[in-house]
Structure 1
Amino acid sequence: MVHQGGRSERRISSVFLGIVAVMAVTGWAVWTGYATSPGLAVFLFVTSAWVVSLCLHEYAHARTALHGGDITVGAKGYLTLNPLKYTHALLSIVLPVVFVILGGLGLPGGAVYIERDRIRGRWRHSLVSAAGPLTNVAFAVICTAPFWLDALDGVPLSFRFALAFLALLQVSAAILNFLPVPGLDGYGVIEPWLSHRARRELAPLAPFALIGVFALLWIPEVNAVFFDAVRGVLRALGVSDLETYCGRALYRFWTEQDGFCAVPAD
């Protein structure tokens, strides 16, 4: 009999629920202005929301793999949304958070081990890879909904800026993840359609290609082109450059604040 896993393998973990609780409480603090330090509240809200999105990203990979034929994901704890169950919690959670704190880049995390030999069909393999970044796309749509629906009346400035910055993280993560570079989900989407020879030759390049992408982003000209594309997507969704700029400034509350982004006290 094939083991399908019990309810315990799919029960949402207390770790994830705790992160969601932090997001909810700090989001409320940003909205109401209850926090004595709006910057700290924005920092905690955006960081916890970012971690929630990372967990959902990995869950989407695992859940799609489960339906594709890999029934081992449940036993590995991937369906509980517990970030501590990932193969490399450092790569999946810690580094993406550090990158956000340092520079405001939505670094793609990811370290759920999928047993690909259990999955049949190229379309299923492609969908497993695409499921993660599509979660970031969905998160970006939700964050920007008040902007493109023109429903910002009554939304406090600090919360508005926080949503704009969180949307920037989601869009940048989605774009990075969809790059057809070995080691990223975009390559996983097209890999099943490549010849066996091409896949064999490209496989050893995955760790170096990923490092190369991030090294390129440290080049000012490349970084400018990348973030121009990110801001272009956000502008199309109704989020202005000023709103994302102020969101990043509020998030990095320990740095000198720009007067343009001052949030009036209640």
Structure 2
Amino acid sequence: MGHEGGRGERRISSVFVGIVAVMAVTGWAVWTGYATSTGLAVFLFVTSAWIVSLCLHEYAHARTALHSGDLSVGAKGYLTLNPLAYTHALLSIVLPVLFVILGGIGLPGGAVYIERDRIRGRWRHSLISAAGPLTNVAFAVVCTAPFWLDALDGVPRPFRYALAFLALLQVSAAILNFLPVPGLDGYGVIEPWLSHRVRREVAPLAPFGLLAVFALLWIPAVNGFFFDVVYAVLSALGVGDLESYCGRDLYRFWQDTEGLCATD
């Protein structure tokens, strides 16, 4: 019985399979130009791919926790890749998607509940926290592979733009997540190495860390510096500013802007 339950706890959810199917179909539509509206196809492709990356981010936390000693993550549904299983679906899925739509920022979500008292060893605690944003890093590397491999011949321009914008979201999410701010994964990486007194004093700030980062990003100078860093990373991965700009432009199909981003 326990073995069957364990297998059921790790079965990939139909919800996640459905999201992957949307990503595949809309990605095909962007590639082939089959869609009536290229912008709508790019919107659906990037949004579904972003949700897939969020699911993988949370799964990486949970899977690492499982192998580190927290066997409770299976019963909570975290190993099924079902976005509806997260303790804060609003924080993990809804808000990150909303921020992509409104601001083009890969805002980190959060929330698989790890029973930390089950886990022994500071390195394990750090690795659990790092696993999520490292997934975003891996996703960014995959998205930018055609660019840094110089393999763009035959890649349709709209698909290239969509990949560039998706990579921007992954890079921005990884950078934000690795900030050593209470409530974000970056702080989770260093927290096990801090003194008990410091951890106790910082703990009440955790619920406000993400809000503070979001507020700071509204300051033009901070926002400009942040995106300078994002674009520098993208450039190192072979993605030009114009390509990520055009990806964002296509993604916001409802704005109906015209200019540099011809897709013919």
Same fold, TM-score > 0.5, yes or no: yes
Quote the residue 1:240 is aligned against.
240
Indicate if the aligned counterparts of 1:57 and 1:131 stay in contact, CA closer than 8 A: yes
Whole-angstrom distance in 1 between the partners of 2:91 and 2:223: 22
Aligned residue pairs: how many?
263
* Residues 144 and 238 in structure 1, CA contact (< 8 A), matched pair in contact too: yes
Alpha-carbon offset, residue 211 of structure 1: 1.2
Do 2:184 and 2:209's aligned partners in 1 also have CA atoms closer than 8 Å? no
- Deviation at residue 209 of structure 1 after TM alignment: 2.6
- How far did 1:175 drift? 0.0
Match of 1:214 in 2: 214
CA contact (8 A) 1:4 1:71 kept: no
2:63 alignment partner in structure 1: 63
**Which whole-Å CA distance do the structure 1 matches of 2:208 and 2:51 have between them?**
26
Q: Deviations over 1:18-70 (max 9, x none)?
A: 00000000000000000010000000000000000000000000000000000
- AA at the equivalent of 1:62: A
1:1-266 alignment, distance < 5 Å: 5-264=5-264
Task: State the TM-score, normalizing by the size of structure 2.
Answer: 0.98
TM-score by length of 1: 0.97
Letter in 2 for 1:240: G
Relative to structure 1, the CA distance from residue 126 to residue 3 in structure 2 (aligned partners, 3 Å threshold; closer, same or farther) is farther
Whole-Å separation in 1 of the counterparts to 2:122 and 2:156: 47
Cα-to-partner distance string for 1:135-157 (whole Å, 9 max, x where unaligned): 00000000000000000000000
2:184, 2:210 within 8 Å by CA — same for their partners in 1? Answer: yes
Distance 1:258 1:217 in 2: 27
Aligned partner of residue 128 in structure 2, secondary structure: helix
SS at match of 2:35: coil
Please, which moves more after superposition, 148-157 or 202-211? 202-211
* Structure 1 gap ranges (5+): none
Q: 1:4 to 1:112 in 2, by over 3 A?
A: farther
Runs of 4+ in 1 over 2 A off after TM superposition: 2-5
Task: Give, as a single letter, the amino acid of the residue that structure 2 aligns with 1:84.
Answer: L
CA contact under 8 A between 1:61 and 1:129: conserved in structure 2? yes
Structure 1 residue 210, shift from structure 2 partner: 2.2
Q: CA RMSD in A?
A: 1.1
Cα shift at 1:254: 0.5
Tell me, in whole angstroms, the C-alpha distance in 2 between the residues paired with 1:40 and 1:256: 11
| Aligned partners of 2:66 and 2:73 also within 8 Å | yes
Unaligned runs of 5+ in 2: none
Q: Percent identity?
A: 85
